[in-house]
């Protein structure tokens, strides 16, 4: 992986189908954004949490992507789907891989 970004989304009870449909709608645009190498989406059904694992050419590309999404007000949609709204999404940027086994 080049630049790892991991996002976790604690889903509002009863909203799993709605957030799944929403993510499936927007992820193709994320994947085609400049610098996005790959995306993997995982659902922990026991905890009702989505984890989105992203690989980016650079964290600068990822930052530009986030700015674009914020300008479209897309994150407001998460207010009714994620516990804590947009602020409930935990983002972790890990930068370049140091070693792989």
Domains of the chain: 3-96 (3.30.70.100)
For 90, the token pair is 């935990």
Contact 51, 42 (CB under 8 A): yes
- Report the pLDDT value the prediction gives residue 16, as an integer from 0 to 100: 95
Give per-residue pLDDT as tens, 38-72: 999 999 999 999 999 999 999 999 999 999 998 98
Tokens 């026991």 identify what position? 46
Contact 49, 9 (CB under 8 A): yes
pTM: 0.88
Counting every residue, how long is the chain?
A: 101
Q: Which residues contact 66 (CB under 8 A, 6 or more apart)?
A: none
């Amino acid at each position: 992986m080049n630049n790892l970004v991991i996002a976790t989304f604690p889903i509002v009870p009863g909203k799993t189908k709605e957030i799944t449909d929403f993510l499936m709608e927007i992820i193709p645009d994320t994947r085609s954004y400049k610098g996005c190498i790959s995306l993997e989406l995982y659902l922990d059904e026991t905890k009702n949490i989505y984890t989105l694992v992203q690989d980016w050419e650079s964290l600068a590309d990822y930052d530009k992507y986030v700015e674009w999404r914020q300008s479209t007000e897309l994150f407001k949609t998460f207010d009714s789907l994620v516990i804590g709204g947009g602020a409930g999404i935990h983002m972790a940027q890990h930068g370049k891989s140091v070693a792989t086994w």
